């Protein structure tokens, strides 16, 4: 038991180091930095590169990576990204840091190719084989001791810094009101930049401290970040002491629960990793008044910064149908000029495009960032695969039932977390997705040693969709139908209601809109699309497997969809196809060094949203309209000058 | 207190942490009246509007709308009972045009905002003539017809306030709470707003509760004025009586009337 308690404290300290950094950056900038773990990973790899690859001594490598590289990275990220985020809508803030989370590990693999191979027992701050100490009759090695002490020091130091120093005072003032703090003589740029640098130093410290315990794998750092969110929620995002205490508590619970857990079965495997998320959900639901804080977005400031051309009136009648018909027509000709192999690849992309429409509805229309759409897709995919393969149902029916099963699940999540809103909604959906991943998808009958559940191709109306071309065409038809439904929803009264809610929930409520009901509808509809898309995507790749619907995949999906335009069905289409085709092209035609470049670009694209929150497609169309407008103005001007001056 | 008040708050108390924002405040508005609510900054006017419209839950006291106790009902339910409001910090729907603001408000009022399946099927019924008439009439009333198809994000502040008033009226309310409707309006726009309010009251029997800093605007328009200071009602009565009230002069009008002393 003592051994478990000490192990729990060590694990808790690991969470604490991560959680404290997150709380600090959130306190200092109101940007919730999902890339915290990725930054820690980056610095850890840099440290390893200096120390192990280039033979630097531990102190030199530690000072350069934690004391120089980390703050420089923080300064760079602040100047290039976080500075701009202050004036963007919450969805954009959020997705930009998710983009960084996706891009950084890929960037690391491009810069430091040695990270692609497993690194055995990387060194931390303790060189050689660490000494073992005896604490209360429990053996604990020097690396673990450093983590324990490090967490306590960081917690105390930060609390003192924020509460009792002039810098801390400026930080708190700047967060409350940047403008007033500025008038009072605080250089707010310096304050937010230093907070970011401090945040990345903490991330770097965490990275180096945790290296010997976690190993140098980006996935470990990501999972650490996600698990430490439990402590961040306990701290209500802002309390350093609560974050520290909460982290220790979660670590203890995870280790001590070993005493009581059965030796086999899904609970043995899935319960411990689920603890942080159970804690997270419980606290999210228990805390009162966790309404997503009201971000003050000055839409006028944005539109002056980025001039927006007035949209032409929507085309009516056959002219309005022309654009969509052209897109559909182009999609239908694909089998004529691609080989069967590439039709197969593009089919996976079409399956994803259908799935991605779920983001168009829940985030694009509903204005909510949900991190469980991939889980809802997984529910649809697994249900369809189980019913079709194990129970022998006709595939079409299995697909529909899969989609239908996702709906109540999605609505349940929505119902529990809607009153939270904003960032807290994202965290609640994240917790839910992790619970399903650990407790359901990890079950042996779903996971099947990682291979998942097979699912075949459909066969109906006498057509055999086993062949590449017919199956592809089926997906195109389904995509067009779903896209049309989404467009109808947007064009109707529902679209007006969604747009109202995205701008102002209080105003929507006072004109009689039921905000909760409308959000439930958006969530339910998005769950249906996710479930259907998940099933079709599973058919396209031949199986429903946990790895196709996990968190890491889910955030890359979100990043790429938002990059292309989360308000646009064409954005979802392009995102789906690029997500599958780009890596395939790279692996066929480029050397191995390029493997991670597409993922990096997907992440960087999401970061670029800070510049144009409405996505690439909107930007292109808008630039085109602006050019036309300018030409028109010049023509008018010339005509006016040429005309005889009226007497 | 008037027994047949359309909207009534009885003994409402609101605390934010240790601060008592409203302390036993009562106010009432009869049908088709214009009632003014004035007071210095921080007096609790906006909080009282929050309580009346359902965005702020009072710690004690009750709110009656058309004789129904609505103290713990949602804003949308109150909207259906005929209550509408505008906001001090304007809360427009940035992506919608001026016309769409009125359309969505009217449809929400008529409960045509919940046609999910019909929308999915693309059963885009042409806007019914009643809706088109009502929207066009309101746009005309507030002088917004020329701006009807502009997106709200690009409107100047003064116009934004008029759009908020129009949106409130599009729910065909019995009573509208206006939170500082003239702040940011120039003299001409304020004039136009005053005329519009008078006309709406005359034509549609709509009552207004008016929070204002522009004292002349309130005293010129309202039949009954309540004065709040530090969360308490310090005076209530006809505009002329309020102008003469010594406590009010001390708390609020002091400098403008030149009567500094108690």
Q: What gap in Å lies between CA A222 and CA B241, rounded to an integer?
A: 68
| Structure tokens that stand for A617 in this block | 């497609």
A309 — pLDDT class (breaks 50, 70, 90): low
Pick from A145, A149, A146, A155: which is nearest to A243 by CA? A155
Picking from B107, B113, B153, the nearest residue to A300 by CB comes out as B153
Q: What is the pLDDT of residue B261?
A: 38
User: Is residue B224 classed as helix, strand or coil in its secondary structure?
Assistant: strand
Picking from A491, A506, A513, the nearest residue to B108 by CB comes out as A513
Interface test with A, best of B46, B97, B104, B184 (most A CBs within 10 A): B104
Pick from A255, A193, A216: which is nearest to A15 by CA? A255
- Other CB atoms closer than 10 Å to residue B198's CB: what's the count? 13
Helical spans, DSSP H, in chain B: 45-53, 75-80, 98-109, 116-120, 129-141, 157-170, 187-204, 215-221, 239-244, 246-248, 254-257
Q: What is the pLDDT of residue A539?
A: 93
Q: What gap in Å lies between CA B227 and CA A348, rounded to an integer?
A: 67
Q: Mean pLDDT across the stretch A309-335?
A: 77
User: Is residue A453 classed as helix, strand or coil in its secondary structure?
Assistant: strand
User: Do residues A642 and A598 make contact, with C-beta atoms less than 8 angstroms apart?
Assistant: no
Q: How many helices (H) and strands (E) does chain B have?
A: 11, 10
By C-alpha distance, the chain A residue nearest B54 is A510
User: Do residues A493 and B116 make contact, with C-beta atoms less than 8 angstroms apart?
Assistant: no
User: Do residues B49 and B58 make contact, with C-beta atoms less than 8 angstroms apart?
Assistant: no
pLDDT digits (tens, 9 = 90+) for A593-631: 788 888 888 888 887 776 666 777 777 788 888 888 888
Q: What gap in Å lies between CA A420 and CA A288, rounded to an integer?
A: 9
Cβ-Cβ contacts under 8 Å, B120 against chain A:
485, 488-489, 492
Q: What is the DSSP letter of A594?
A: G
A87: CB partners within 8 A, 6+ apart? A297, A298, A301, A302
Asked if pLDDT for residue A294 goes beyond 60, the answer is no
What string of DSSP letters covers A224-283? HHHHHHHHHHHTTTT-HHHHHHHHHHHHHHHHHGGGTS-SSSHHHHHHHHHHHHHHHHHH
Cβ-Cβ contacts under 8 Å, A494 against chain B:
113, 115-116, 119
Percentage of residues in chain B having pLDDT higher than 70:
93
User: Is residue A631 classed as helix, strand or coil in its secondary structure?
Assistant: helix
For Cα atoms A495, A497, A500, give the angle at the middle one, nearest 5 degrees.
110
Q: What is the DSSP letter of B97?
A: B
Q: What is the pLDDT of residue A610?
A: 63
Q: What gap in Å lies between CA A36 and CA A77, rounded to an integer?
A: 12
Q: What gap in Å lies between CA B206 and CA B208, rounded to an integer?
A: 7
Q: What is the pLDDT of residue A314?
A: 65
Q: Mean pLDDT across the stretch A169-191?
A: 75
Cβ-Cβ contacts under 8 Å, A496 against chain B:
96, 100, 103-104, 107, 113
pLDDT digits (tens, 9 = 90+) for A246-263: 999 999 999 888 888 877
Q: What gap in Å lies between CA A115 and CA B4, rounded to an integer?
A: 77
Q: What is the pLDDT of residue B256?
A: 46
Indicate the pTM of the whole model.
0.88
Give the sheet arrangement for strand B60-65, strand by strand: B19-29, B7-16, B60-65, B68-69
Q: What gap in Å lies between CA A250 and CA A227, rounded to an integer?
A: 9
Instruction: Say if the Cβ atoms of A504 and B154 lie within 8 Å.
Output: no
Is B62 a member of any domain? yes
pLDDT digits (tens, 9 = 90+) for B172-208: 999 999 999 888 888 888 888 888 888 888 888 899 9
Instruction: Say if the Cβ atoms of B85 and A509 lie within 8 Å.
Output: no
Q: What is the pLDDT of residue B221?
A: 87
| Structure tokens that stand for A238 in this block | 């802002």
Give phi and psi for A368, each to the nearest 5: -110, 140
How many domains does chain B divide into? Answer: 1
Cβ-Cβ contacts under 8 Å, A288 against chain B:
none
pLDDT digits (tens, 9 = 90+) for A91-133: 777 788 888 988 999 999 889 888 877 777 787 777 767 778 7
Is B51 a member of any domain? yes
Q: What is the pLDDT of residue A171?
A: 77
Q: Mean pLDDT across the stretch A293-298?
A: 37
Interface test with B, best of A314, A484, A512, A522 (most B CBs within 10 A): A512
Instruction: Say if the Cβ atoms of A499 and B96 lie within 8 Å.
Output: yes
Torsion of CA B231, B234, B239, B241, to 10 degrees: 180
Interface test with A, best of B119, B126, B174 (most A CBs within 10 A): B119
Chain A nearest C-alpha distance from B17 (Å)? 13
Domain with B243, as residue range(s), is 7-95+173-257
Q: Mean pLDDT across the stretch A435-461?
A: 85
Classify burial at B139, counting beta carbons within 10 Å of its beta carbon; exposed 0-12, middle 13-18, buried 19 or more: buried
Classify burial at B250, counting beta carbons within 10 Å of its beta carbon; exposed 0-12, middle 13-18, buried 19 or more: middle
What string of DSSP letters covers B146-197? GGTTSBGGGS-HHHHHHHHHHHHHHT--SEEEEESTTTT--HHHHHHHHHHH
Instruction: Say if the Cβ atoms of B76 and A484 lie within 8 Å.
Output: no
User: Do residues B183 and B214 make contact, with C-beta atoms less than 8 angstroms apart?
Assistant: yes
pLDDT digits (tens, 9 = 90+) for B133-181: 999 999 998 889 999 998 888 888 888 889 999 999 999 999 999 999 8
Interface of chain A toward chain B, CB-CB under 8 angstroms: 299-300, 303, 310, 484-485, 488-489, 491-497, 499-500, 502-504, 506-515, 517-518, 521, 525
Q: What is the pLDDT of residue A305?
A: 46
Q: Mean pLDDT across the stretch A560-584?
A: 91
pLDDT digits (tens, 9 = 90+) for A137-153: 777 888 888 888 889 99
Chain B nearest C-alpha distance from A303 (Å)? 8
Q: What gap in Å lies between CA A459 and CA A464, rounded to an integer?
A: 5
User: Do residues A296 and A90 make contact, with C-beta atoms less than 8 angstroms apart?
Assistant: no
User: Is residue A363 classed as helix, strand or coil in its secondary structure?
Assistant: helix
Greatest mean pLDDT among A159-168, A450-459, B30-39 lies in: B30-39
Half-sphere exposure of A139 (CA within 13 A, CB side): 4
Q: What gap in Å lies between CA A61 and CA A51, rounded to an integer?
A: 6
Sign of the alpha-carbon dihedral angle for A408, A409, A413, A414:
negative
User: Is residue B66 classed as helix, strand or coil in its secondary structure?
Assistant: coil
Cβ-Cβ contacts under 8 Å, A502 against chain B:
93, 95
Q: Mean pLDDT across the stretch A558-582?
A: 91
User: Do residues A483 and A529 make contact, with C-beta atoms less than 8 angstroms apart?
Assistant: no
Cβ-Cβ contacts under 8 Å, B83 against chain A:
510
Question: ipTM exceeding 0.85?
Answer: yes
Cβ-Cβ contacts under 8 Å, B121 against chain A:
488
A228: CB partners within 8 A, 6+ apart? A14, A15, A16, A18, A19, A22, A247, A276
Interface of chain B toward chain A, CB-CB under 8 angstroms: 53-55, 74-76, 78-80, 83-85, 87, 91-96, 100, 103-105, 107-109, 111-116, 118-122, 124, 151, 153-154, 167-168, 170-171
What is the domain partition of chain A in residue ranges? 34-228, 324-551
The owner of tokens 């001090």 is: B88
In angstroms, how far is CA A239 from the centroid of its own chain?
24
Mean pLDDT of chain A: 85
| Structure tokens that stand for B22 in this block | 């409203």
User: Do residues A354 and A477 make contact, with C-beta atoms less than 8 angstroms apart?
Assistant: no
User: Is residue A590 classed as helix, strand or coil in its secondary structure?
Assistant: coil
């Amino acid at each position: 038991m003592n051994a478990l308690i000490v192990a729990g404290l060590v694990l808790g300290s690991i969470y604490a180091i991560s959680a404290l950094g997150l709380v600090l950056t959130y306190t200092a900038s109101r940007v919730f930095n999902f890339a915290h773990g990725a930054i820690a990973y980056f610095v850890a790899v840099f440290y390893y590169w200096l120390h192990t690859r280039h033979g630097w001594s531990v102190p030199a490598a530690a000072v350069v990576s934690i004391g120089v590289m980390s703050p420089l990275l923080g300064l760079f990220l602040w100047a290039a990204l976080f500075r701009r985020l202050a004036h963007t809508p919450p969805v954009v803030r959020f997705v930009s840091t998710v983009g960084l989370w996706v891009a950084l590990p890929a960037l690391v693999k491009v810069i430091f190719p040695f990270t692609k191979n497993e690194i055995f027992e990387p060194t931390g701050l303790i060189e050689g084989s660490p000494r073992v100490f005896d604490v209360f009759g429990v053996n604990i090695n020097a690396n673990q001791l450093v983590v324990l002490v490090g967490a306590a020091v960081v917690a105390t130091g930060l609390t003192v810094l924020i509460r009792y120093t002039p810098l801390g005072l400026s930080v708190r003032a700047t967060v409350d009101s940047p403008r007033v703090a500025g008038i009072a003589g605080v250089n707010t740029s310096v304050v937010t930049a230093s907070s970011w640098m401090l945040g990345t130093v903490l991330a770097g410290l965490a990275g180096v401290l945790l290296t010997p315990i976690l190993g140098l794998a980006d996935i470990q750092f990501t999972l650490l970040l996600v698990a430490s969110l439990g402590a961040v929620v306990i701290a209500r995002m802002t309390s350093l002491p609560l974050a520290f205490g909460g982290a220790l508590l979660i670590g203890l619970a995870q280790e001590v629960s070993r005493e009581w857990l059965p030796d086999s079965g899904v609970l043995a495997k899935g319960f411990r990793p689920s603890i942080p998320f159970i804690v997270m959900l419980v606290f999210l639901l228990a805390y009162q008044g966790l309404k997503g804080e009201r971000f003050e977005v000055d839409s006028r400031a944005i539109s002056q910064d980025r001039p927006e051309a007035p949209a032409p009136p929507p085309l009516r009648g056959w002219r309005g149908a022309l654009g969509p018909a052209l897109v559909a027509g182009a999609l239908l000709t694909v089998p004529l000029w691609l080989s069967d192999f590439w039709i197969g690849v593009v089919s996976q992309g079409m399956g994803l495009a259908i799935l991605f429409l779920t983001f168009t509805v829940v985030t694009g229309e509903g204005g909510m960032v949900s991190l469980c759409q991939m889980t809802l897709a997984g529910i649809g995919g697994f249900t369809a695969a189980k019913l079709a393969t194990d129970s022998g149902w006709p595939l079409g029916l299995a697909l529909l039932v899969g989609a239908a099963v996702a709906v109540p699940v999605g609505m349940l999540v929505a119902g529990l977390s809607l009153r939270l809103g904003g960032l807290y909604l994202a965290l609640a959906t994240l917790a839910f997705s992790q619970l399903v991943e650990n407790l359901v998808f990890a079950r042996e009958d779903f996971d099947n040693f990682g291979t998942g559940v097979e699912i075949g191709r459909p066969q109906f109306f006498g057509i055999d969709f086993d062949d590449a071309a017919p199956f592809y065409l089926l997906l195109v038809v389904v995509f067009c139908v779903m896209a049309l439904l989404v467009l109808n929803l947007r064009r109707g009264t529902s679209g007006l209601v969604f747009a109202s809610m995205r701008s102002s929930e209080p105003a929507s409520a006072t004109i009689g809109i039921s905000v909760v009901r409308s959000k439930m509808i958006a969530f339910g509809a998005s769950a249906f699309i996710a479930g259907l898309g998940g099933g079709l995507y599973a058919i396209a790749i031949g199986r429903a497997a946990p790895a196709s619907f996990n968190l890491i995949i889910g955030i890359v999906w979100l990043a790429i969809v938002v990059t292309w335009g989360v308000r646009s069905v064409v954005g979802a289409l392009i995102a789906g196809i690029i997500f599958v085709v780009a890596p395939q092209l790279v692996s066929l035609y480029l050397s191995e060094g390029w493997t991670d470049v597409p993922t990096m670009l997907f992440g960087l694209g999401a970061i670029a949203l800070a510049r144009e929150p409405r996505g690439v497609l909107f930007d292109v169309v808008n630039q085109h309209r602006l050019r036309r407008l300018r030409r028109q103005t010049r023509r008018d001007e010339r005509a006016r000058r040429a005309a005889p001056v009226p007497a | 207190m008037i027994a047949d008040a359309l909207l009534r708050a009885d003994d409402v108390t609101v605390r934010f942490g240790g601060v008592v924002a409203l302390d036993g405040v009562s106010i009432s508005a009869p049908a088709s009246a214009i009632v003014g609510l004035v007071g210095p900054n921080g007096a609790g006017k906006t909080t009282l509007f929050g309580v009346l419209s359902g965005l702020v839950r009072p710690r004690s006291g009750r709110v009656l709308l058309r004789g129904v106790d609505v103290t713990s009902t949602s804003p949308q339910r109150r909207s259906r009972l005929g209550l509408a409001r505008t906001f001090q910090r304007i809360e427009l729907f940035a992506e919608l045009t001026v016309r769409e603001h009125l359309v969505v408000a009217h449809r929400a009022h008529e409960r045509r905002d919940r046609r999910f399946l019909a929308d999915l099927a693309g059963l885009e019924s042409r806007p019914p003539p009643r809706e088109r008439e009502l929207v066009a009439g309101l746009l005309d009333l507030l002088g917004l017809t020329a701006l009807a198809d502009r997106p709200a994000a690009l409107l100047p502040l003064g116009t934004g306030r008029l759009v908020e008033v129009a949106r409130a009226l599009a729910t065909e309310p019995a009573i509208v709470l206006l939170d500082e409707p003239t702040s940011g309006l120039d003299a001409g726009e304020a004039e136009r707003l005053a005329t519009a309010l008078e006309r709406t009251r005359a034509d549609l029997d709509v009552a207004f509760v008016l929070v204002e800093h522009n004292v002349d605007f309130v005293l010129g328009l309202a039949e009954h004025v309540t004065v709040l200071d530090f969360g308490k009602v310090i005076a209530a009565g006809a505009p002329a009586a309020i102008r003469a009230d010594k406590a009010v002069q001390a708390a609020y009008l002091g400098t403008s009337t030149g009567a500094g002393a108690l």
